[in-house]
Amino acid sequence: MSPSATRERLSPPITATQVQLFVFAVACLVAFVWSWIFLGMSFSGITSSFGDVGRLVKRMVPPDFSNLSNIVDATIETVWMAVMGTAGAIVLSFPLALGAARNTSPHPTVRYICRTVISLTRAVPDLVLGAVFVSALSIGPLPGVLALAIHSVGMVGKLFADAIEQAAEAPREATISVGATRRQTTRASILPQAMPSMIATALFRLEINIRASTVLGLVGAGGIGVLIQTSLRSLDYESALGAVAIIFVVVTAVELLSVRIRSSILGEAAAMAQSSRHGWFSQRIIARDTRVNRKSFETRALSPPWTWDRMFSTATIFGFLLALAVAVLTIDIDWARTVPLMPQIITVFGDLFPPDFTTVRSEMVTGIVESVVIAVIATGLGLLIAVPLSLLAARNIMTKRILSTVTRLVMLAFRGIPELIIAVIFVSAMGLGPVPGTLALTVVTASFSAKLFAEALEEVDAAPREAVLAVGAGKIQEFFASVVPQFMPAFTGHFLYILDVNLRSSTVLGIVGGGGIGFLLLNSMRVLEFQTTGAIVMAIFGIVLAIELIGNWVRQLLR
Long-range contacts of 501-504 (CB under 8 A, 24+ apart): 502/374, 502/375, 502/378, 502/379, 502/382, 502/441, 502/445, 503/371, 503/372, 503/375, 503/543, 503/544, 503/547, 504/125, 504/544
Q: What is the mean pLDDT of residues 59-87?
A: 86
How much is the pLDDT for 273? 43
Return the top range by mean pLDDT from 102-116, 380-394, 470-484. Answer: 380-394
Domain that holds residue 205: 69-231+317-351
Examine residue 62 and say whether the peptide bond preceding it is cis (omega within 30 degrees of 0).
Answer: yes
- Asked if residue 127 has pLDDT above 50, the reply is yes
Question: Residue 464 pLDDT more than 50?
Answer: yes
pTM (two decimals): 0.78
Q: Give the residue-averaged pLDDT of 340-353.
A: 77
- Cβ pair 226, 180 in contact under 8 A: no
Domain membership flag for residue 273: no
In a domain, 249, yes or no: no
What one-letter code names the amino acid at 467?
A: A
User: How far is CA 221 from each of CA 94, 255, 436, rounded to the nearest angstrom?
Assistant: 26, 23, 24
Sign of the torsion formed by the C-alpha atoms of 375, 85, 155 and 541: negative
Q: Express each pLDDT in 276-319 by its tens digit.
A: 444 555 566 667 667 766 776 667 655 667 777 667 777 778 88
441 assigned to some structural domain: no
- The answer as to whether 345 is a domain residue is yes
Q: What is the pLDDT of residues 24-51, one digit of tens each?
A: 889 889 999 999 999 888 888 888 888 8
Q: Is residue 534 part of a domain?
A: no
Task: Report whether pLDDT(362) > 60.
Answer: yes
Does a structural domain hold residue 108? yes
Residue 268: band (very low, low, confident or very high) from pLDDT cuts 50, 70, 90: very low
Here the contacts of 303-312 (C-beta below 8 Å, separation 24 or greater) are 308/264, 308/270, 309/264, 309/265, 309/267, 309/269, 309/270, 312/261, 312/264, 312/265
CB crowding 37-61: b at 16 or more within 10 Å, else e: eebebeeeeeeebeeebeebeeebe
DSSP string, 273-338: HHHS---HHHHHHHHHHHHHHHHHHHTT-SSPP--HHHHHHHHHHHHHHHHHHHHHHHSS--HHHH
Helices 530-558/126-137 angle, 10° precision: 160
CB of 258 within 8 A of CB of 86?
Answer: no
DSSP 178-232: TT--HHHHIIIIIHHHHHHHHHHHHHHHHHHHHHHHTTGGGGTSSSSHHHHHHHH
Local structure of 69: helix, strand or coil: helix
481, 460 Cβ separation under 8 angstroms: no
DSSP-based three-state secondary structure for 166: coil
d(CA 231, CA 416): 20
**Whole-angstrom Cα distance, residue 4 to residue 223?**
69
Whether 148 is in a domain gets the answer yes
> What is the number of structural domains in the chain?
1
Q: Taking all residues of the chain, what is their mean pLDDT, rounded to a whole number? A: 80
Band (pLDDT 50/70/90 cuts) for residue 71 is: confident
Within 396-529, where are the H helices?
401-415, 419-430, 434-458, 462-470, 475-478, 484-506, 518-526
Total number of residues shown for the chain: 559
Mark 146-181 as b/e (b = at least 16 C-beta within 10 Å).
Answer: bbbbbbbbbbbbbbbbbbbbebeeeebeebeeeebe
Give the span between the Cα atoms of 457 and 463, in whole angstroms.
14
Q: Which residues contact 243 (CB under 8 A, 6 or more apart)?
A: 71, 74, 224, 227, 228, 231
DSSP state of 418: -
What is the pLDDT at residue 276? Answer: 44
Q: Quick check: 1 pLDDT over 70? A: no
For residue 4, pLDDT over 60 is answered with no
127 within 8 A of 84, measured Cβ to Cβ: no
Residue 538 within a domain? no
Cα gap 268→485, rounded to integer Å: 26
Provide the pLDDT for residue 91.
92
Q: What is the mean pLDDT of residues 51-73?
A: 84
- The three-point CA angle 72-77-82 to 5° equals 125
CATH number at residue 324: 1.10.3720.10
Residue 272's pLDDT is what?
44
Contacts of 425 (CB under 8 A, 6+ apart): 53, 56, 57, 232, 240, 244, 440
Does residue 20 have a pLDDT over 90?
no
